[in-house]
Structures are given as structure tokens and as C-alpha cells.
Amino acid sequence: MGISGESEEDGFLLRFGLVVPGRIRGIRPPVAVLTPERGGFSQQRLEQAAAQVNRLRIALQLGRHFFGGLSTDTLTAFREISAYVQAATSSDDAWVEIHASLPDTEARALAGRAIGCLDAPDEPQQLGIDILGCLANYRQHGLGDRIADLLQRDVFWPSSLYRDARDEIAAALVQRIDEANGLQLNHLLLALAWTRGEPARRAFVEWRNDPPHWASRLHVPAEDYLHHAGWTLDANGQRRDLISVSCQRIALRANDSPTRLAVPCRTETEKRCPACGGPLAWLFDFANLPGQFFSGDRAVAPRRILCCLHCASSCPAVFSRYQSNGTADWHPATKSDETSNLGGRPPTVRELVASPQPTFAAAEPFGVEDATALGGVPMWVQDADYPHCPDCQNVMSFLAQFDNGSMTPCEEGVYYAFFCAACRVAAVNYQQT
């Protein structure tokens, strides 16, 4: 059963939707995730499973559209599509660079063809959205004037398509928000947040001071929608960025040769977790990087991020207090109910790529194959979840993320690292599908 209430007729996709959520959570047998003792299949879990099934369905439709002669068996067809894609796959760097380096005239033409997919009934609309997403997130100035074409067609998702939109676009979004309901209200608020300009700031300040009639239908304060676009409001209603526009990938090394930009990750320490008893680890160790990567808005950021990799994946956040000399200690504000450590998270040494990556390359889930990076915007697998500093209660700034999908064998989820410069507090949390 999907979000729309329509039944799923494909046996493979139906089994996927029922079984995968339980397997991801480690439940055996996985269909036990549906039992009342485990809370049943909540609306949130239903929406997550339906979204996963929908992504597979769209992939299958695209595959049948572009690759002739695929098997009528769904699983076999997916394997055939995977073989086609792997044969033509380029690296993240190459894929991003293709879009980032397009001349403006070619980028506009490509955007025009993508928008044409939205209008033509015989064209796969998702293909058009995917192309627009690449242009929006990989190019310095996003979609520019073509955002008006999306507004005209009531296309508000994914919301990052509206990044840095003109003031008149933001004003039009505000007007539509006052008339919206349900899921469209959420999409419009996110789109407005992604415009990232003064009209958006003024609107969210106004809604903070005088909550509108629709605010009671939200699960969070309206201003929390800004977090998805990497910014927030301070106590005085002024803009505060939660991300650094300086972004470097932390990539797998091609070989084991030494490098001056090595970044050890998930390295165990001798300290033990007060909650589960397992080893604490440095999620990232940036201590040996040149100072140029820790200047400006990262001048007082931690060079090493201490956490319990196990507890971080099962509690809201693991906090630590860090020092300028690279040491850190567990922060008692961490609330973990774990009593044992499952282990199985091996260390790895990565390499910082000196050439910058576009700040918003990871704005949408799985927009890049490996989202591991210093700076830029987090690749939220679910909703934006910036921790609040336990000392001052302010929203913490994003520092880096580790994408477990790049490990061999492949692992699930993403670790996110944050810091509060004023209190010298760091945090790590985790999300997975």
C-alpha cells in the first residue's frame, strides 16, 4: 500500500516494501516490524516504505523506457538495469563536473529539455526532475531563471530546485503558502527556505512572532524548515548559516600510498563508552590537515570528532567536549539507552580532495554516490536534524559527514558531525533509510 492509498500489484515491489524496513532495523523475521508489539507499521514507516517502493517503480519505468528487451520478471529486470548502469557509471567527481562546467547556454538548453519532460505525457517526468536536480545542486547559481517555469507548473519537490531563487519567486511562494494544505504546505515551506534570501528570512521571522493559522498543522516550528537549506534564525531574527560553503570530498584512496591529506575515519580509541561499554572512536581525524581547511567559519571547529559509533546510530546524538589541542571527552548530555555494543564498524583512511566540491552537491538523498565530505550541505537521508548544543541550546553548525555506503562490504546510513564554537561542544548523529 502506497502513500496514495493505491495497492501494489507487483509481487517483488510489495515484498520489498514489507520486508526491507524490518531488515534494515535488524528485526528477525523482518515482517515482525508490522506487529503491534513493535508499534505496527506507523504512518512514518508506511511513508518511508512507500517512498522506497516508488523509487524502485520509477527506476523500473525509466529502465523499460531506455533499455529495450528487459525481462518481464521484475527482479531480473532490475539486475539487467544495474548491469547497464554500472557499465556506464562515472565517478562522482566526473558526474558533478559535467554539470558544473556546462556553459550557461548549454545548461539553459538542458534545463529546457528537462522541463519538456514535465509537459509531455509520453516522457518520464522523473527523468526531467532528476536532470533539473543535477543542474540545481551542482551548478554555482542553480537553475536561475528557469525556476519560474517550475513555479508555473506547481512543481515544488524536490525543494532544492528553488535554491537562491529571485525575490519575486519567494514572494509568490509566500502567497501560495497561505492557501496551501497537507503535503503541499510542507513542500512550499521547504522551497521558500531554499530560496535562502531576505524575503524568506522576513517571512519566517513574521511567522515566528505571529504564528499563522496553518502553523498548528506542522510537526515542528515553521522556522525549522530553514534547516533543510542550511540556515536558521538567531534569537534576534537574523540569519545564521549552519553550513560552510567551503566543501571538500573525503574520498576513498586509489591505493595505500601516503598522502599529506589523509583523513583517518572511525578510528577506535582506548576510551570506553559510558553507555554501551564499547570503544569510543574518532569519527574523523582532521588533525594533520593543513590549516587552510580549518580557517574562517571552521577556525575553532574540532579537528577530531569523538563519538560512540554504536550509540550514535541509536540515540538522538552523541555529544563530546573538545579542546583546541585535539583531545575530547564524552559529554554527559548524551542520552543513550544502549547496554551492549554490536561492533562491526571497521576503521578506514580516506583522502581529502583539495579541489572544492559544489556546496550543495549532496542536497538531495543519493544525489552523489559517496556523500563523505568536509563542509557543504548534509545529505539528509530523512529530515534535517541539526542537534541543539546541550550547553547553550543553540542549533549546532554542520562540520562533516561520513557515508557508510562507500564501505566494503557496503554498510547502511550516514554519520553527521556538528559543533558549537562558543561552547566547544561537538555532536554526532546518524540516519538511514
Q: What is the structure's pLDDT at 4?
A: 46
Which residue in the block uniquely carries the three cell numbers 572544492? 356
Within 223-261, strands assigned E span 231-233, 239-241, 244-252
Classify residue 283 by its DSSP letter: E
User: Does 286 reside within a domain?
Assistant: yes
Query: Domain for residue 4, yes or no?
Result: no
- CA-CA-CA-CA torsion sign (29, 34, 35, 41): positive
Closest C-alpha to 116, from 106, 104, 125, 108? 125
pLDDT of res. 427: 99
In which domain, by residue range, is 49 found? 11-88
Q: Residue 6: inside a domain, yes or no?
A: no
The last residue of a domain, from among 189, 215, 241 = 241
Based on the fold, state whether residues 400 and 252 are members of the same structural domain.
yes
Q: Are residues 373 and 323 in the same domain?
A: yes
Model-level pTM?
0.81
Residue 416 and residue 333 share a domain:
yes
List pLDDT tens digits, range 235-271. 999 999 999 999 999 999 876 666 789 999 999 999 9
Residue 150, all three cell numbers: 517550475
Place of cell 518520464: 124
One domain, residues 229 and 305: no
Same domain, 257 and 357: yes
342, part of any domain:
yes
Assess whether 213 and 147 both reside in one domain. Answer: yes
Is 256 in the same domain as 307?
Answer: yes
Q: What is the pLDDT along the chain (433 residues), one digit of tens a residue?
A: 444 455 667 778 877 776 666 655 555 565 555 555 555 556 666 666 677 777 788 788 877 776 778 898 988 988 888 887 766 556 678 889 989 999 999 999 999 999 999 998 777 788 899 999 999 999 999 999 999 999 999 999 999 999 999 999 999 999 999 888 888 999 999 999 999 999 999 999 999 999 999 999 999 999 999 999 999 999 999 999 999 999 999 999 876 666 789 999 999 999 999 999 999 999 999 999 999 999 999 999 999 999 999 999 999 999 999 999 999 999 999 999 887 887 778 999 999 999 999 999 999 998 899 999 999 999 999 999 999 999 999 999 999 999 999 898 889 999 999 999 999 999 999 999 8
How many residues in the chain?
A: 433
Q: Is residue 3 part of a domain?
A: no
- Last residue within a domain, chosen from 59, 88, 117: 88
| Judgement on whether residues 49 and 125 belong to the same structural domain of the protein | no
pLDDT at residue 29 in the model: 60
My answer on whether 126 and 26 are in the same domain is no
Give me the DSSP letters along 97-113: HHHHTS-HHHHHHHHHH
Question: Looking at the domain assignment, is residue 97 inside a domain?
Answer: yes
User: Are 138 and 167 in a shared domain?
Assistant: yes
Give the per-residue pLDDT at 93. 80
Residue 1 domain flag: no
How far apart are the C-alpha atoms of 23 and 239, rounded to whole Å?
Answer: 41
* pLDDT of res. 388: 98
Instruction: Convert the pLDDT of each residue in 257-316 to its tens digit.
Output: 667 899 999 999 999 999 999 999 999 999 999 999 999 999 999 999 999 999 999 999
Q: How far is CA 291 from the centre of its chain?
A: 27
Same domain, 152 and 277: no
Residue 2 forms part of a structural domain: no
And the C-alpha cell for 415? 554519520
Q: Which of 88, 110, 130 is the last residue of a domain?
A: 88
315 with 290, same domain: the answer is yes
Write the DSSP symbol of residue 5: S
Question: What domain count does the chain have?
Answer: 3
Residue 215 and residue 206: Cα distance in Å, rounded? Answer: 12
